[in-house]
Structure 1
Amino acid sequence: MGNVISSNLGYPRLGEKREWKHALEDYWSHKISQEEFVKRTKEVRLSNLKKQQELGIELIPVGDFSYYDHVLDTSFMFGVIPKRFQAKNEAHDQLDTYFSIARGTKQAIASEMTKWFNTNYHYIVPELEDFAPHLVENRPLKYYLEAKEELGIEGKPVLVGPITFLKLAKTYKEDEPESETSTCSCGHAHVLETAKCDARILQDLVDKFLPLYKQVLRELEDSGVEYVQLDEPILVTEYDQAELAVIKSTYQELQEAAPKLKIILQTYFESLTHYQEIVALPVAGIGLDFVHDFGENLAALSQYGFPKDKILAAGVIDGRNVWRSNLHAQQKLVKSIVEYAPEVELILQPSNSLLHVPVTKKNEPQLDSILLNGLSFADEKLNEIVLLTQSVQHTAPTNSLLDESKRAVDQLNQSEHRNHPEVQKELRDLKNLKNERHSIYNKRIQKQHKNLALPLLPTTTIGSFPQTQIVRQTRASWKKQEISNHEYEEFIQREIKRWIQIQEELELDVLVHGEFERTDMVEYFGQKLSGFVPTLYGWVQSYGSRAVRPPLVYGDVSFVEPITVKETVYAQSLTEKPVKGMLTAPITIINWSFVRDDIPKADVANQIGLALRKEVNHLEKAGIHIIQVDEPALREGLPLKKKRWAKYLKDAVYSFKLTTTGVKDETQIHTHMCYAEFEDIMETIRDLDADVISIETSRSQGEIIASFEEFHYDKEIGLGVYDIHSPRVPEVSEIKQNIKRALKVIPENQFWINPDCGLKTRKEEETIAALRKMVQATKEIRQEYEEKSQK
C-alpha cells in the first residue's frame, strides 16, 4: 500500500475554558480594544495549532479558526457584504462590519442564520445581492504563513469549497415599490431564488466566484503550500446531473489554475453522492466520511474502487460524538479500506471537523470512572487518529493501546448504566400504550378556548428571559456551595416574581416563569433525568459566542422526580393569567446532546419521551393549563438524503406524542421550532398534533409563509415577529408588517404573536423594549380588526 499519514479537518475554536468566547464578548461590550481582542484570539489560535503539533498530527489545518463563522469568513474574504452594511464598511472598520452582518445593528437586521447541514452549529447565510465579488484578503494564505512563521508548522489551509459556498448562498433582488412583498423598513431585500435548486443559477455564480478561488489557490501554490483542504459537504446531499456538470467543470478549472497544489476535496456528514463521478474529479485527493456514511462509502469503494493516482482521506474516528472508539474495530475498517484501495496513498482523520465536540476530557475528573474512560473529546480523538496511523504504519507498538480502547468501550456497554431493567420493560410495553390525544383537535380546541379565554392574536414569549450577570453569578455561587439551596431558591423566586410583574405590566396574555434556574434548555433536563450526566467544560460552539454544554446521554433514561413543577406553579400563583409549563422534547434533547451510540437513537428518544410524559402529567395535575414542549431541533436532525427521512420523521412524531398525549382535552399543548426549510416537513408538523406551534421566521423574512400558502394548516400558530438573535430593537411598524404578512395566509383566529425564540441571550432593557413594541403592534392590529368588524 501507499504512504499513510495522520490529519485533522478542524479544531474547536472556543478554547479549553472558553477563552475565545470571553474575548469576543469582552470586545462587543467595549471592555477591551480591538487590538487586545486580536491579541487574545491569536493566542487561542496558536495554542490550538501547537497542541495538534504536540499530539503528533502530521497534516494540521490552518484557517479553520474564525472570529464568528467560517461561512461568513468566506463571504467577507470575497467582499460579499450586504448592501445595508456597505456604508459602514466604507468607514474602514472591517471587523465591526463583519460582526454587524452576523449580529445586526440598530439600522439593519442581521443576515439570516441557519443550521450547518444536520448539526447544531449555525452559519451566516451569504447574501448575493447586487454584488461584485473581489478578493479582499487571501485568508487561508494569511493563516498558513502565521503558522509557519510562529510555530514552524507546514499547515494545510482550509477553505469552504465553491460549490458548497454558493449552494448555501441566497440571491436577492429588490421588489417593486408597489409590490405587496416589498422591502421592509430595515432595507433587507426579499429572497428571489437560491442557488440550491437551479444549475443555471449555480453556473452563473460559479462564473463570478471561480476567478477568485483560482487566485487564492495560485497564491497558496506560489507560497509553497503543499496541501489545501476544500470543504464540500454539499456533495453528500442530493443534486442532479446538470449540477454535477457544473461541479466537474469547476474543479477542472481549479486544478488547471494551481496544478502543483494538492487539493483535497473534503466531504463529510454522509456518504458521497455520485461516487464514481466525484472520485474521478481532477484533484489530488478525496475526503470521505466512513463513520456517518451508513456503510455506503465503504460499499462504493468495494464496488468501484478508487483512483490509484489520488489520495484517499478517510474519516475513521467519529468527529460528532464523544464516545471512545474501539480501535480494534476501526483498525479493521482501515484494513478494509486498504484492501479495496491497496495502492492508494492514505490519510487517516476524523469524520469531520472537531468543531462539533469539546476540547478535552482531562477537565472532567468528577465523572464516573467507567464513563470517563469511555469518553473521547477533540484531543483524545486526535490521539486515536495517531494511534491508528501508527498501527497501520507499524512505526510504534500499539496493540496494548488498541486492547485498552476495546476494554473501555466494553465496560461502558456492559455497565448497569446501560442495562436498566425497568426502563427496558417500559420500552417493550409501548405497544400497549395509547399514543393519541383523547379527542381530535377541532373538539379539544373549543374546550381550550373556553377554559383559557384569550383575546384575538394572543401574545406570549417562547420561554426564557435574560440570564443576567447576577443570575449567572448566583448560580455559580450555589454550585460552589457558597450559598445554600434555600438561598438559591429564594433568589430564583425573586427573579420569577419580578418577571411576572414585568410581563403583566407589558400586558402579555400568556406568561412564562423565565427559566432562571436553567443553564440550558437541554442541559437542565440532563441534570434531572437518570441516564444523563453534565460536564464541567464540555462546551461546543452553537453560533457566534454562543456556547452550549451538551449533556451526555450515557445510559438508560428514566424519570426521577418532578423537574419544572415547583417554579411553574410558583409563577402561576402570582398571576391570574395562564403561565406556560416549559419542557424540551425528545428529539431536540437527542440532537443537542451527546447520545450513546450502542443502541438506536429511536430507542433513546422513546426512553426520554416516557420520562417527560410523567413530567407533563405532574404539571397538569398541579393546575398548569398550557404546556410547551419544544422541538426546535427536529428539522436540523433530518437526514441529508431523502431516502432516510420517513423513518426519522416517524420516530420523531412518535416520541413527541409519547411525551404529550397523556393529558386532558382542556390542556393546551404548545411546541416551538427553529430556523429551517419547513416546507419539507409540513405534514410532520401537522402529525405532531400540538394545539399551538411557534416557529422562528424573522431572519428569513417570512419565507416560511409560502409553505402555509401551499399547505393548509388547521391548528394555531405563531410565526416569530422579530429576531431575538440580534441586539437590535425593531420598530412597531416593522413588527406590524411581519404580522400582516403572516395574516395574509393564516386566519387571525389561529395566529399567536411571539418573538422568534427564547430571550435568554438578550439584555434586559432591549428585551423589555422589544416586547413593548410587539404588544403595541398587536394592539394596533387588533384595533384594526375591531374597526373592520363594526363596519
Structure 2
Amino acid sequence: MSDTREQFRPTDHDTDHFLLTTVVGSYPKPEWHDHARDLHEAEDTGFDDEDWEEAKDDASRLITREHERAGMDVVTDGEMRRNEMVEYFAHRIDGYEFNGRVKVWGHNYFDKPSVVDPVEYGESWLVEEFEFIDEVADAPVKVPITGPYTLASWSFNEAYDSEAELAYDLADLVNEEIEALVEAGARYIQIDEPALATTPDDHAIVGEALEHIVEDVPDDVRLGLHVCYGDYSRIYPEILDFPVEEFDLELANGDFEQIDVFKEPEFTKDLALGVVDVHDAEVESVEEIKDNIKKGLEVVPPERLTVSPDCGLKLLPREVAYEKMDNLTTAAREVEAELDAGEIDVPASE
C-alpha cells in the first residue's frame, strides 16, 4: 500500500517533521442547530425544508472553520448533517426500515433499524456533504463513514441467514459510496467500526468486509479504520492484515494502559493515536498531550503517527471540545520542533 500521508502536509509547514493532526468525526452541534431541528420537526412553525437545509449549511461552515481555527491539518464539519452513525446511513439504504426507538444506556435512545429485505444502494450518502465541506474548507477534508460490520451488528437482521452475509452485502454498498466520494475528490476516508471492539472475535468478518470495500480504490486515497473502546489484545496483531493504511485507536481514556499491545509484534501500519479523552470535560494541558504523543512514538516513528482525539467529541461542551483540539495541535507542533532539534528519543525508530 502506498504512502498517502505527505499530501496532507500544509504548504507552509515550517518543521521537517510532520505529525498529521485531525479529528475523528463527530463534534458538538451549536445549540441553535438543535433548536432549528425542533422547529423543522414541529407542526405549523413555518420553518420549512429550505430553512432547515440553510441551518445545516451554516452549522457545517461554522464547525469546519472552527477545526481550521484550531489548526487541524485535516478537518471535518463535525458531522453536522448526521443524527447518529447507524441511523443516518440506514435511512439511505434500501432494505432497512424503522420501528421505533430502543434504549441504549442511561437516558440515551437509538432508532435501531431493521433489515427486512436485501440491502441495495438507494441514494448517495455523503457526496453532497463532502462537496460542501470541501468548498468551505481551506484544509483537506476527511470523510468518516460507518463501516459495514457496525451497520450490520447494530441493526436487527430479519432478511439474511447470518450477520456476516449482511455485512458483506453492506460492504459492497460502502465500496460504491467510496467510489463516488473518490470521484468527487475525497482523498482521506475513515471507516468507523466501533462494533468490532464489542465483538472482537468477529475480526475476520471485518477483514473480509474491508476487502470488499477497498476494491478498486486508487492508491492515492488514504484509508483508515477507527476502532474505539474494548480489549485491543483480542484483535491484535490480526488487524495488521486489514487492507487499510491507518488504524485510529482510543487510548487516552484508558491512560494508555494498552499501548504495549501494539509493540510486539511490530506495528506495521500508520497509527492515529487518541491523545485527548473525549469522555472527560477537563481539558488536557499542552504538556500532558505532548507526553501522550510521545507514547505513540514508542510504537511508530513520527512519519507514521497521526494525532487525534480518542473518538468523536460530540458529547462534550463545545468550548471544551475546541480547547482540547487547540491544545492538541499546539502540542503536536511543539513535538515536531523538538524532534527537529533532536531533543526527543524515538524508541520506534531504534
Name the TM-score, length of structure 1 as normaliser: 0.41
User: What is the distance in 2 between the residues matched to 1:729 and 1:562?
Assistant: 37
Match of 1:453 in 2: 9
Deviations 1:520-570 (A, max 9, x none): 01110011111112344x13224x444333222222111111111111111
User: 1:541·1:547 contact (CA, 8 Å) conserved in 2?
Assistant: yes
User: What is the distance in 2 between the residues matched to 1:789 and 1:703?
Assistant: 25
User: 1:585·1:609 contact (CA, 8 Å) conserved in 2?
Assistant: yes
Match of 2:114 in 1: 552
Deviations 1:297-339 (A, max 9, x none): xxxxxxxxxxxxxxxxxxxxxxxxxxxxxxxxxxxxxxxxxxx
Whether 1:718 aligns to 2:240 is: no
Match of 2:296 in 1: 742
Deviations 1:457-483 (A, max 9, x none): 111000111034322232233344653
Q: Structure 2: any 5+ residue segments left out of the alignment?
A: 345-350
User: What is the distance in 1 between the residues matched to 2:329 and 2:5?
Assistant: 21
User: What is the distance in 2 between the residues matched to 1:659 and 1:698?
Assistant: 29
User: What is the distance in 2 between the residues matched to 1:618 and 1:710?
Assistant: 38
User: What is the distance in 2 between the residues matched to 1:728 and 1:541?
Assistant: 25
SS of residue paired to 1:517: coil
Match of 1:540 in 2: 103
Shift of 1:789: 8.2
Q: Which aligned pairs between 1:109-128 and structure 2 lie closer than 5 A?
A: none
User: 1:572·1:578 contact (CA, 8 Å) conserved in 2?
Assistant: yes
SS of residue paired to 2:236: helix
**What amino acid is aligned across from residue 530 of structure 1 in structure 2?**
D
**What amino acid is aligned across from residue 739 of structure 1 in structure 2?**
I
Q: Which has the higher helix share?
A: 1
Match of 2:233 in 1: 679
From 760, 767, 770, the equivalent of 2:314 is 760
Name the TM-score, length of structure 2 as normaliser: 0.90
User: What is the distance in 1 between the residues matched to 2:48 and 2:182?
Assistant: 30
**What amino acid is aligned across from residue 243 of structure 2 in structure 1?**
D
SS of residue paired to 1:610: helix
SS of residue paired to 2:191: strand
Q: Structure 1: any 5+ residue segments left out of the alignment?
A: 1-440, 639-644
SS of residue paired to 1:698: coil
Q: Which aligned pairs between 1:564-643 and structure 2 lie closer than 5 A?
A: 564-596=126-158, 599-638=161-200
Shift of 1:450: 4.7
Count of aligned pairs: 336
**What amino acid is aligned across from residue 651 of structure 1 in structure 2?**
I
Match of 1:494 in 2: 58
Does the C-alpha gap of structure 1 residues 476 and 655 become closer, same or farther in structure 2, counting only changes over 3 Å? farther
Whether 1:466 aligns to 2:28 is: yes
User: What is the distance in 1 between the residues matched to 2:249 and 2:107?
Assistant: 23
Q: Which aligned pairs between 1:331-342 and structure 2 lie closer than 5 A?
A: none
Does the C-alpha gap of structure 1 residues 757 and 637 become closer, same or farther in structure 2, counting only changes over 3 Å? same
User: 1:523·1:534 contact (CA, 8 Å) conserved in 2?
Assistant: no
User: 2:192·2:225 contact (CA, 8 Å) conserved in 1?
Assistant: yes
User: What is the distance in 2 between the residues matched to 1:546 and 1:751?
Assistant: 34
**What amino acid is aligned across from residue 155 of structure 2 in structure 1?**
S
Match of 1:512 in 2: 76
SS of residue paired to 1:495: helix
Shift of 1:634: 1.0
User: What is the distance in 2 between the residues matched to 1:726 and 1:533?
Assistant: 35
User: 1:720·1:757 contact (CA, 8 Å) conserved in 2?
Assistant: yes
**What amino acid is aligned across from residue 261 of structure 2 in structure 1?**
S
Match of 1:79 in 2: none
SS of residue paired to 2:21: coil
Shift of 1:701: 1.2
Shift of 1:501: 1.5
Whether 1:477 aligns to 2:31 is: no
Percentage of identical aligned residues: 27
Indicate the structure (1 or 2) with the bigger Cα radius of gyration: 1
**What amino acid is aligned across from residue 9 of structure 2 in structure 1?**
A
User: What is the distance in 2 between the residues matched to 1:711 and 1:534?
Assistant: 44
Q: Which aligned pairs between 1:53-452 and structure 2 lie closer than 5 A?
A: 441=1, 444-445=2-3, 448-452=4-8
Deviations 1:742-788 (A, max 9, x none): 21222111111100100111111111111111111111111101211
Match of 1:521 in 2: 85
Whether 1:696 aligns to 2:250 is: yes
Question: Which one is further off, 708-717 or 452-461?
Answer: 452-461
User: What is the distance in 2 between the residues matched to 1:499 and 1:652?
Assistant: 31
Shift of 1:599: 1.3
User: What is the distance in 1 between the residues matched to 2:156 and 2:267?
Assistant: 34
User: What is the distance in 1 between the residues matched to 2:213 and 2:163?
Assistant: 16
**What amino acid is aligned across from residue 616 of structure 1 in structure 2?**
I
Deviations 1:363-395 (A, max 9, x none): xxxxxxxxxxxxxxxxxxxxxxxxxxxxxxxxx
**What amino acid is aligned across from residue 534 of structure 1 in structure 2?**
F
Shift of 1:703: 2.0
Shift of 1:693: 1.5
User: 2:8·2:74 contact (CA, 8 Å) conserved in 1?
Assistant: no
SS of residue paired to 1:541: strand
Shift of 1:689: 1.8
- Highest RCO, 1 vs 2 (Cα 8 Å, sep ≥ 6): 2
